[in-house]
């Protein structure tokens, strides 16, 4: 029996502590955060300079990841902040050392 290596990620990026939040989904978190950090994708995240990865979670199935992302986007801002604080109380950039 083959184990599938599919991994999907829900992530939250920001520009600073208590700043603007963006929630996204990807199958390659490292590449996607690189794109955000280098402003390779024009749109909301580049407009607001969102390049700090402050939260992510893994999912095995894309359907479940997309469902979770859509759900989280409907959340009150306070709930999103509480989720970040629970896992990353200092709002550290979790991808800070990925590209050195």
**DSSP character at residue 49:** T
Question: Does 4 have pLDDT greater than 70?
Answer: no
pLDDT tens-digit profile of 30-39? 999 999 999 9
- The yes-or-no verdict on residue 3 having pLDDT over 60 is no
For residues 89 and 8, give the distance between their C-alpha atoms in angstroms, rounded to a whole number.
Answer: 24
What is the tally of helices (H) and strands (E) in the chain?
Answer: 4, 3
Q: How does pLDDT run across 47-58, given as a tens digit for each residue?
A: 999 999 999 999
The residue ranges of every structural domain in the chain are 1-62+89-100
């Amino acid at each position: 029996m083959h184990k599938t290596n599919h991994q999907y990620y829900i992530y939250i990026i920001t520009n600073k502590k208590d700043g603007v939040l963006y929630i996204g989904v990807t199958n390659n978190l490292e590449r996607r955060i690189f794109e955000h950090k280098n402003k390779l994708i024009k749109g909301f995240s580049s407009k607001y300079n969102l390049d700090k990865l402050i939260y992510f979670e893994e999912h095995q199935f894309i359907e479940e990841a997309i469902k979770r992302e859509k759900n989280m986007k409907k959340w009150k801002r306070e709930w999103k902040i509480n989720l970040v604080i629970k896992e990353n109380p200092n709002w550290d950039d979790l991808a800070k050392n990925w590209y050195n």
